[in-house]
Structure 1
Amino acid sequence: MALTRAAIVGAGLDILDRYGLADVSMRRVADALGVQAGALYYHVPNKQSLLAAVADEILADALGPGDHPSLEDWVTAWAHTLRRALLAHRDAAELVASTRALGLGAVDPCADGRERLAVGGIAEPSATMAALLHFVLGHVTQEQTAAQMAALGLTPAPEPTAADRDFAWGVGLVVRGMTTAAA
């Protein structure tokens, strides 16, 4: 098998899913691919670039929730789509949050939303999408941390329907605020 950026990112994502963010390293990815760590640097210049590429891979699954009858429905679908993509991978919310905070990564999960909000006449489309992104990342981080603590036997297992209900309520609150500010 030829060593490619896609193979490196795939191995990084696999390690993230199996062991968590703390275990994603250049050496561990190289071991998973059966190469020396130095071989990775031709495709990925450093660990931060690797983590950003893994975050981009996760975010690629969250783009384009499709068309919806209203802007409010589209924004709601976007938030739920992003949540599902993040929940599909261990520590994904923490990874995406740190990647975004460092200004790394090529995938901007809010780009389409900012455009739609601007066309829809929503004031401050950048701030609105940032608030919603921060809500989604924070909520999913809490969900993933609670699930990990329960898996270790340190806390009771969280009630999934409560997380779903709380998430829907929070998204609805942001969307109502967005439409109220536009009116």
Structure 2
Amino acid sequence: MRYHRDDVVDRALVVLDAYGLADLTMRRLGGELGVQPSALYHHFPNKQSLLAAVADELLERGRRTPRPSGWDARVEAVCTELREAMLAYRDGAELVATVRAFGLGAGTPYDELVAALTDGDLDPALVPTAARTLLHYVFGHTVDEQTHLQAGSVGAIEDAPREDSDFALGLQIVVDGIRALAGAGSR
């Protein structure tokens, strides 16, 4: 059977969720699709480009619209959506953060944060730093949540799953700091 690029990405998401990022290999994916791993290179020149496409699809599947109108509400919506999209798949946070760090993809949340922050009267020189700070908070918090959940589920730690997440409160602290900078003329 001949697969299209979208079929390969769809199956890669299934493999990611079932086995984790470390086991999302071209060999395993080829086996899942019933093709030789070399057949995947017709669609992707290397594993990194495959991972970038998988990360972009993961984010697209978690996308919600419309966005709120206020800059701060938009920032919170983008960050919450990003967290939820990454939590929807095993190792989703590690995948998206890695792809973003390598500059291979997963750029939409950053672009949306820059657009929202630009609308918030923040000094334009601070906008990229504020957007990266928000991403780092979301990535770090979500990796911590996923790692704790996965370690608990396989018995590696004795902690029970966390009942409540402090994600929203932490995000509010970061957004309040940005709001304070914007209100102070972003000295």
Give the TM-score normalised by structure 2: 0.90
Q: Which has the higher helix share?
A: 1
Q: Is the 8 A contact 1:65 1:74 kept in 2?
A: no
Cα-to-partner distance string for 1:94-149 (whole Å, 9 max, x where unaligned): 11111111111264321122122113312222111111111011001001000111
Give the match for residue 14 of structure 1: 14
Residue 144 (structure 1) aligns with: 146
How many Å separate the matches in 2 of 1:121 and 1:65?
Answer: 23
1:3-152 alignment runs, 5 A limit: 3-63=3-63, 65-105=65-105, 107-123=107-123, 124-152=126-154
The list of structure 1 runs, each at least 4 consecutive aligned residues, that deviate by more than 4 angstroms after superposition, is 62-65
Q: Matched residues, percent identical?
A: 44
Corresponding residue SS for 2:160: coil
| Amino acid in structure 1 at the alignment position of 2:66 | G
RMSD: 1.5
Q: 8 Å contact 1:12–1:54 — kept in the other structure?
A: yes
AA partner of residue 125 (structure 1):
V
Q: CA deviation at 1:64?
A: 5.4
Q: 1-side partners of 2:110 and 2:63: how far apart?
A: 9
* DSSP 3-state at the match of 2:108: coil
Q: What is the alpha-carbon distance in structure 1 between the residues aligned to residue 70 and residue 84 of structure 2?
A: 21
Equivalent in the alignment of 2:163: 160
| Long gaps (5+) in structure 1 | none
Given that 1:62 and 1:109 are in contact with CA atoms closer than 8 Å, whether structure 2 keeps it comes out as no
Q: Distance in 1 between matches of 2:154 and 2:59?
A: 28
| 8 Å CA contact retained: 1:62, 1:78 | no
Counterparts of 2:32 and 2:154, CA distance in 1: 25
| Contact 1:113 1:129 survives alignment (8 Å) | yes
How many residues are aligned here? 180
In the superposition, relative to structure 1, how do residues 25 and 86 fare at CA in structure 2: closer, same or farther (>3 Å)?
same
Shift in alpha-carbon separation, 1:111–1:81, aligned structure 2, 3 A: same
Deviation at 1:47, TM superposition (A): 0.8
